[in-house]
Amino acid sequence: MTQAGRQGSPRNGSGRTSAGHQSARTQGAGGAGRGQRDFSKGGGDRPFKRPKPREEAFIDPDLNPAGSAPESGDRNGAKPAARKPAARKPAARKPGAGKVPGTPGALKPKPRIGAGAAKATGSSAFGGERFGQNLGPVRKPARKRGPRGPVPQSELHDADGVRLQKVMASAGVASRRVCEEMIAEGRVEVDGQVVTELGMRVDPKASVIHVDGLRIQLDENMVYMVFNKPKGVVSTMEDPDGRPCVSDFVRNHHGERLFHVGRLDVATEGLLLLTNDGELANRLTHPSYEVPKTYLVQVRGPFPQGVGAQLKAGVELEDGIASVDSFKLVDSTPGHVLIEVVLHSGKNRIVRRLFDAVGFPVLRLVRVKVGPIGLGDQRQGSIRNLGKQEVGHLLASVGL
């Protein structure tokens, strides 16, 4: 395009030439007259207005010390009236925000923190323990005897012993201060008697201490383990035929001799307790304590109705009538059924014999729980130590 074409183009204004633009710039640079407009800093036909100088806020030296700036508000530095914090908008986008609290799917209320709030975690026995499973409070059966009378401290006090709260803190129950609160609240028993006085001393080797029904194991030589037995492992410490046995797994975890509580046949998998506590092992296996054991049983389906009621009512076996405490259908797939049964009988191969008697041979059998102790997500073939809270629940389940 020629120079003349560029001068008349729409981009160059209303047909003004370059000379006209140069003339306007020259007048703006030289200072426009009173009736003239300054186009040097403004656009279009709007005149340029210089901004007014900003007024500085007055600082009273009597009200504001040197170096401090007045707060926003009055020019004299007066403090503005206190404003209430704006209410926080509810999280409307969160799922369940519009539902009534307590209904399914509603948001859970946050715990209140204050003087009336619940005590911090750790006020319960072994509440701060990070090892093992948290089994909650101990469910103790109601006592048939009348209330116990007050026991003089002199009968339980051992002048050469250790302070009770120190023994509890050393056992990992809680801090010494929290242990003192537990004693004052009447939550601690020594040799079966409730103790509420803080000055009592006990012999850690001879005294039996319970906190909230949990037995405190003061003997550090006691070992309690859970072994997830795989299929094909014999439930013995030694096998003359050279088959894999429990000792093959224990040697890598502990040097002390342990023995297993109960047995599982070679084809059965799952939980097997290992310990050197002979009294606990005897009570767990004795039929009078009726320790429940939970199994997952896989059989061929379909499984008709009425068979579960038959197992609960009792089935005649070669050594007498046997039954299950509970029966629950867990899962069903084409050709297979998974069933959970709980029973306290310790007879040999009792679960397999029960299902054989009703016409459903067991395809796979796994023990997942003994008393309060469960496998959880423990890997098969692995061994883990029980937590102190788990040990307390296990001892309480057999009256220790």
Q: Which amino acids are annotated catalytic? A: 265
Q: How far apart are CA 307 and CA 295, in angstroms?
A: 17
Angle (CA) 63 65 70, round 5°: 65
Token duo for residue 101: 């609290």
Residue 56 in tokens: 């500085």
* Distance from C-alpha of 287 to C-alpha of 285, rounded to nearest angstrom: 6
**Could you give the CA distance from residue 260 to residue 258 in angstroms, rounded to a whole number?**
7
Instruction: Give the Å distances, CA to CA, from 200 to 153, 154, 191, 212, 217.
Output: 7, 9, 13, 18, 19
Residue with tokens 């550090």: 220
Identity of residue 98 = G
Locate tokens 């008709």: which residue?
A: 304
Amino acid at 84: K
Q: H/E element holding 207?
A: none
